[in-house]
Amino acid sequence: MNMQLFVNGIVNAALIAPPAIAFSLLFGVMRFPNFAIGGYITAGAFAAYAFNVQLGLPLLASAVAAMALTGFIVWLSDIIVFKPMRGHGPVTLLVVSIALTLILEHIIRIIYSAEVRGFDIPLQRPVKFAGIRITYEQMDIIALALAVAVATHLLLRFTNIGKAMRATADNPVLAEVRGINTGLVIGFTWLFCGALFGLTGVLAGLDLVIEPLLGWNLTIPIFAAAILGGIGSPYGAMLGAVMVGMAEELTVLVLPSSYKVGVGFMIIAVLLLARPHGLLGQPEIRK
Amino acid sequence: MADALLKVTDVCAGYGRGDIIHEVSLEAHAGQIATIIGPNGAGKSTVIKTIAGVLRRRTGSIIVDGQEIGGLGASDVARRGVSFVPQEANVFRQLTVTENLQMGAWTDRANYSERLARVHGLFPVLKERATTRAGNLSGGQRQMVAFGMALMVDPQVLLLDEPSAGLSPVMVEQMFDTVREVNATGIAVLMVEQNAIQALRISHHGYVMAAGQIVLADNAANLLDNEEVSELYLGTRA
């Protein structure tokens, strides 16, 4: 097997994993697929660009600031857009979220134009090892994806707010009955997921280029990873990200690379036919 | 008699536009069990859900320990010492048994380990299956988790919606024993039951509901002896 493709696949997976986890968490608590993730990620990338290039902050500080700002924007999008629409069906909210992503993308386009940009970071030679080429940024992406996966696991398993998130996703009425303030839990979930989308914007900006379609282009693989793992299951999302990330790169062996973007769609199509609740998801129980 | 711990006065509530329950008034006293019986669709569960804040009352007052809780949401009602066990979907299926019990202690995490020990004492199987997801338990065990969760705080008022539903006869008996045990610690219990005779036997007071209204209120022994009640609601006509 071509080891370079394998490494590319890992990097790709690492890029997809944090937003797929966030997408899944958000779905679990809010019960609709939020396609505004493209807009959120792009907002995160441009926020980091503004802090890094326009304000001259170091990249790390810019990334942290971008995560905070994106978390806030994502939380605000719930307050302004989704909260007034609670009680509407998931399909309505899905359409609304697509509209939101277009609005976010075009606001960014108005401010920054469609020009391709990059962060202000020193160019470094990629590391070469046994014929495999990997950049320092890509190593950062892998390390951060692992950190996000571990942090999310610790959050969900061992903290009160994390358990409350799982309880609220599982049974919101019972969560209220047990005294959990689900409004606060929902607010925290938007903030946390928003920060992950912000981080993804920064990482995607490092690996690719910063432009208004940055997030949109990642939406399908993220969605595919989330539903492959079983939507609403953050652990499934991690697994799904690895599989989609690898599949996208490895199909280059058998298909022209221009078909790469279709891989996510194919995975979604096959899954919806064969196993609609994903690999680790629970089948929906309807009465 | 001391003032009622839970005092419901002239409460109307329902879904959508119509009211399901009309001017319901009832009481539950510390250390006593009150049971609402009545045919299906009489609005028994609606009464208990309204007290728990799952459903908002339209008019009337709900007072717990001297404080008005009518109009509060479920999580605020829980914080006022009212612990509610719903009939259905009453466990967090994806969470382990122990995590469920931790959620039960959400409003009051003091004395967590003592309370956990108490719940384990009442339902030893919950200790054995501590790390099992609640969704993978049997119906009876799930009911124990649901009940155990409600006991992870020291509630003033315990609301039980059909605690015996779906349980085997042996388990029903056990469940009622547990209700009595818990009640003996001074908690006011209000429950809704299909198993009317067994429920009234452990109760101090009984309310008979029909068509959204309380049509009869008496002490439980009298209701068990009341011929009309037996005939209509207890199914004991010889």
Is residue B139 domain-shared with residue B224, that is, in the same domain? no
Q: Cβ–Cβ of B149/A178 closer than 8 Å?
A: yes
Contact (Cβ atoms closer than 8 angstroms) between residue A204 and residue A197: no
Alpha-carbon Rg of chain B, whole angstroms?
17
State phi, psi for A34 to the nearest 5 degrees.
-95, 100
Position B237 confidence tier, pLDDT thresholds 50, 70, 90:
very low
Chain B residue with CA closest to A174: the answer is B90
Is residue B73 domain-shared with residue B159, that is, in the same domain? yes
Of A173, A178, A282, the CB nearest to B104: A178
Is residue B105 domain-shared with residue B52, that is, in the same domain? no
Is residue B135 domain-shared with residue B68, that is, in the same domain? no
Position B232 confidence tier, pLDDT thresholds 50, 70, 90:
confident
Each of the 287 residues of chain A gets a pLDDT tens digit; together they read 588 999 999 999 999 999 999 999 999 999 999 999 999 999 999 999 999 999 999 999 999 999 999 999 999 999 999 999 998 999 999 999 999 999 999 999 999 999 999 999 888 888 988 889 999 999 999 999 999 999 999 999 999 999 999 999 999 999 999 999 999 999 999 999 999 999 999 999 999 999 999 999 999 999 999 988 888 788 889 999 999 999 998 888 888 888 887 888 888 888 888 877 777 776 655 43
CA angle A110, A115, A117 (to 5 degrees): 115
Q: Cβ–Cβ of B102/A170 closer than 8 Å?
A: no
Q: Cβ–Cβ of B89/A167 closer than 8 Å?
A: no
Is residue B76 domain-shared with residue B162, that is, in the same domain? yes
- Please tell me if residue B163 touches chain A, with a CB cutoff of 8 Å: no
- Chain A neighbors of B49, CB-CB under 8 A: none
Chain B residue with CA closest to A156: the answer is B95
Q: How far apart are CA B200 and CA B34, in angstroms?
A: 8
- Chain A neighbors of B84, CB-CB under 8 A: 177
Give, in order, the Cα–Cα distances in Å from A110 to each of A107, A113, A114, A212, A216.
5, 6, 8, 10, 17
The pLDDT assigned to B74 comes to 96
Contact (Cβ atoms closer than 8 angstroms) between residue B101 and residue A165: no
The pLDDT assigned to A283 comes to 65
The pLDDT assigned to B98 comes to 96
Give the residue with greater pLDDT, A266 vs B218.
B218
Q: Cβ–Cβ of B75/A177 closer than 8 Å?
A: yes
- Please tell me if residue A277 touches chain B, with a CB cutoff of 8 Å: no
Give, in order, the Cα–Cα distances in Å from B212 to each of A226, B12, B13, B59, B148.
46, 9, 10, 14, 30
Measured N-to-C along each axis, helices A37-49 and A182-207 cross at an angle, to the nearest 10 degrees, of: 60
The total domain count for chain B is 2
Is residue B196 domain-shared with residue B209, that is, in the same domain? yes
Q: Cβ–Cβ of A178/B86 closer than 8 Å?
A: no
Whether B1 has a pLDDT exceeding 80, the answer reads no
Whether B222 has a pLDDT exceeding 60, the answer reads yes
Q: How many alpha carbons lie under 13 Å from residue B61 in its C-beta half-sphere?
A: 8
Q: Cβ–Cβ of B78/A166 closer than 8 Å?
A: no
Please write the tens of the pLDDT for every residue from B54-64: 999 999 999 99
- Please tell me if residue A177 touches chain B, with a CB cutoff of 8 Å: yes
Q: How far apart are CA B92 and CA A176, in angstroms?
A: 12
- Please tell me if residue B104 touches chain A, with a CB cutoff of 8 Å: yes
DSSP string across A167-211: HHHH-HHHHHHTT--HHHHHHHHHHHHHHHHHHHHHHHHHHS-B-
Is residue B172 domain-shared with residue B106, that is, in the same domain? no
Is residue B177 domain-shared with residue B199, that is, in the same domain? yes
Q: Cβ–Cβ of B95/A180 closer than 8 Å?
A: no
Q: Which amino acid is at B125?
A: V
Chain A residue with CA closest to B85: the answer is A177
pTM, to two decimals: 0.91
Average pLDDT over residues B193-197: 89
The pLDDT assigned to A257 comes to 80
The pLDDT assigned to B238 comes to 40
Q: Which structural domain, as residue segments, surrounds residue B111?
A: 89-154
Number of Cβ within 10 Å of residue B2's Cβ equals 7
Position B176 confidence tier, pLDDT thresholds 50, 70, 90:
very high
- Overall fold of domain A3-274: ABC transporter involved in vitamin B12 uptake, BtuC (1.10.3470)
Is residue B73 domain-shared with residue B99, that is, in the same domain? no
**Of A194, A218, A214, A215, residue with least CA distance to A66:** A194
- Please tell me if residue B119 touches chain A, with a CB cutoff of 8 Å: no
DSSP string across B35-70: EEE--TTSSHHHHHHHHHTSS--SEEEEEETTEE-T
Is residue B72 domain-shared with residue B125, that is, in the same domain? no
- Chain B neighbors of A163, CB-CB under 8 A: 95, 99, 102-103
Domain layout of chain A by residue ranges = 3-274
SS3 state of residue B19: coil
Q: How far apart are CA B99 and CA B113, in angstroms?
A: 13
Is residue B39 domain-shared with residue B95, that is, in the same domain? no
Q: Which amino acid is at B219?
A: N
The pLDDT assigned to A274 comes to 81
